[in-house]
Structure 1
Amino acid sequence: MKQIIFTTLMLTFCIGPVFPQQWLNVGPYNGHGPIIEGLIQDTSNPQVLYAASNGEGIYKSLDKGDTWAQISQNAVTGQMSTLAISPGNPENIYTGGSGGKIYKSPDGGNMWIDISGNLPAGHIGDIEIMPGQGAVYVAMAGPLYNEGGVFMTNNEIDWIEISQDFANKKVNSFEISPADPQVFFAATQQYSTNGILYKSLDGGITWSEVLDKTISDLKFDPNNNQKIVAAAESERIYRSEDNGVSWDYYYGFPSITDFLDVTFNSNNSNEMLVASQGSNYAIPGIYKSVNGGESWFGSDNGMTSRYVFSVLFDMENGQNAFCGSRLGFHKSADGGENWETSILGMKRLFVYSILINDSNPDHWIADTDVGMQITENQGQDWAQANGYCTPKIYLPGTDTVYGIIGEGSYSDGIYISND
């Protein structure tokens, strides 16, 4: 009888002798880092970086990304996609992501507390801290990505929805104007339709539409609090020079580009980087401008992935830049033009299922996000198999494996291996 053990979105799988609460991690590892969706730099100590990962928790670096340590252990679970640091106390770190979960560390990442309280289920896409007050705001998408809102708390226990304007909308991003803390921006989207960027002048009581586009991220120029740059999905990079009253856009991008994040160089805000979902179309994962956005060029030389979620200039030295991608963390020493991967201390692999050979229990095949991995000694050593076939069943008493390429409506048929 075949033996199949399924795992769901695990970054590593653990299997070994069955003892209560005793598990041995046997890999496999693929040499890449975890999916990094959120990055942030400590405002009080620029040597410190935090990275939010998809399923591996929160990582911290004390040397600007040269080395990393996983700091959340099992206290932070799920897909974490955003990070925030309290402007009044940089020891207070916040992270959020799937399941409507938001966590806080009061001591720079040593301890984590679930402060989700009465937040609804869904995905947290952005966290903002009100300067001087400490109120926490989160932008959310509902379970079906068409129900969400903006929620806030003053006590980190009880959350209230600040407006019903977003009750049936996914909220991608939320920003508080540095020029006036009563001015809010919320980037929304409804399923399968264009999104809308809203602005409030009264702390979220009333809202008006300012841009009829699906915005994934927006940032203020650190040296000009009237200038906003907004990254749009399947669109362009938009800009406003008057605190969101009027908008135009930058030229020079392929029309199919999905932009996910945008950042300014705080030492020279004429320099900007934008992260894109470039892998889908073999276009750059990062673009750079050195003249205030008047022209742009692809800037991802050395990147191992063109699917880039987050990008950040070093606030201390603008020649340094950092980004998070599908394959981990990357850093640049020349303003974001050339990159190297830096994942020492990180690990990652999605394992969807494992198949064990009945006739030879030492032989396992793991179905992973980078194809099949094979071990012949119960996980002591692993090797990449040919192809991206999903193993399904061993022919009893043999080494013959049947598998499929893809699943469901996207299957490419059935394949067979005799070795």
Structure 2
Amino acid sequence: MIFRSPRLRPVASTLIAILALICTAGAAEPAPKSVGTLDEKLFKGMQWRQVGPFRGGRAIAIEGVPGEPDTYYFAAAAGGVWKTTDGGANWAPMFDKEKISSFGAIAVSASDHNVVYAGSGEGAPRGNISYGNGIYKSVDAGKTWKNVGLKDSRHIGALIVDPKNPDIVLVAALGHMFGPNQERGIFRTTDGGKTWAKVLGKDQDTGGVDVVFDPHNSNIVFAALWQTRRQPWFFSSGGAGSGLYRSEDGGVTWKQLQGNGLPEGILGRIGVTISGADANRIYAIIEAKEGGIY
């Protein structure tokens, strides 16, 4: 036999009533929206606008600074290096004291924002093209610069800095556009530019045009080589030297990627990138007979 105390009945009744009220209120409220969802209507009023610098020239490369949403560096085809710290409201020229004004790439160290590398010589050839004289480095956020090598590379397609070590840099050097030369391909430094090693190359007519880290693992690197030649009367893009490559040791050794859906035959210019959300998603834009985005 179960005995119930009469004095506990009011307390139990009150608790049951409170629980019923909570359950009823919870059932009446709509399910909360996912934290990650955004109302697309919020973006309808947004439009692109020119933020300058209005005298900077043709845009080749732009680089933001992690954790500093208003700070950007802009590298021009023939207008030097510029910097903004207020989201583009004002721009300051950072390279007026140097002899070179043409650039193809720029990168800021994620682990030390004072360290900035800029590759001189535009890497987007067209009817006319301006050349450079190697890689420049700043250790004071762009105030002063020093040439740290690859002076005969002439044109830089891309450069990247290891996110954990500002001294490890990979450079895609396109080389001379109007003739053959040796200093072209993918180069790597582990001492901040004091010495460089050529880690990937094909021949004197093929240069490096792109190189990217896996944003989740800097040991994984993708790079593209491009066989090209510019002459006053014609432009040649593509050849046996062009190709897409992958490294699993931070760019020390490489393996060419072929087949498995990639276009066959003669390849031209290649651009490659890796999804920041899913490192298994690699995108490449490839110039070929069956070219396109892969």
Q: Which category describes the TM-score, using the shorter chain as reference length?
A: 0.5 to 0.7
Distance in 1 of aligned mates of 2:274 and 2:194: 27
1:161 aligns with 2:96: no
Which of the residues 89, 109, 125 maps onto 2:60? 125
Partners of 1:219 and 1:263 within 8 A in 2:
yes
Query: Structure 1 residues 117 and 296, CA, compared in 2 at 3 Å: closer, same or farther?
Result: closer
Q: How does 1:168-317 map to 2 (within 5 A)?
A: 168-189=100-121, 195-211=133-149, 212=151, 213-214=153-154, 215-234=156-175, 235-251=184-200, 253-278=202-227, 280-301=238-259, 302-304=261-263, 306-317=267-278
Partners of 1:284 and 1:299 within 8 A in 2:
no
1:112 aligns with 2:70: no
Distance in 2 of aligned mates of 1:119 and 1:251: 38
Distance in 2 of aligned mates of 1:224 and 1:110: 40
Distance in 2 of aligned mates of 1:233 and 1:329: 22
Distance in 2 of aligned mates of 1:222 and 1:183: 12
Query: Structure 1 residues 110 and 195, CA, compared in 2 at 3 Å: closer, same or farther?
Result: farther
Aligned pair count reads 220
1:140 aligns with 2:73: no
User: In the TM superposition, what is the alpha-carbon distance from 1:220 to its structure 2 partner?
Assistant: 1.8
Which amino acid is 1:293 matched to? G
Distance in 2 of aligned mates of 1:318 and 1:262: 15
Query: Structure 1 residues 168 and 219, CA, compared in 2 at 3 Å: closer, same or farther?
Result: closer
Distance in 2 of aligned mates of 1:109 and 1:293: 42
- Unpaired stretches in structure 1, ≥5 consecutive residues: 1-44, 46-106, 143-147, 331-419
Query: Structure 1 residues 109 and 283, CA, compared in 2 at 3 Å: closer, same or farther?
Result: farther
Give TM-score, length-normalised by structure 2: 0.64
- Unpaired stretches in structure 2, ≥5 consecutive residues: 1-35, 37-41, 123-128, 176-183, 228-236
Which amino acid is 2:256 matched to? G
Q: What is the DSSP-based 3-state SS (H/G/I as helix, E as strand, rest coil) of the residue aligned with 1:163?
A: coil
Q: What is the DSSP-based 3-state SS (H/G/I as helix, E as strand, rest coil) of the residue aligned with 2:148?
A: strand
Distance in 2 of aligned mates of 1:283 and 1:195: 24
User: In the TM superposition, what is the alpha-carbon distance from 1:252 to its structure 2 partner?
Assistant: 5.0
Deviation digits for residues 249-278 of structure 1 (CA, Å, limit 9, x no counterpart): 214533322221101224443332112325
User: In the TM superposition, what is the alpha-carbon distance from 1:286 to its structure 2 partner?
Assistant: 0.9
Partners of 2:65 and 2:110 within 8 A in 1:
no
Query: Structure 1 residues 260 and 166, CA, compared in 2 at 3 Å: closer, same or farther?
Result: farther
Partners of 2:62 and 2:72 within 8 A in 1:
yes
Identity of aligned residues (%): 27
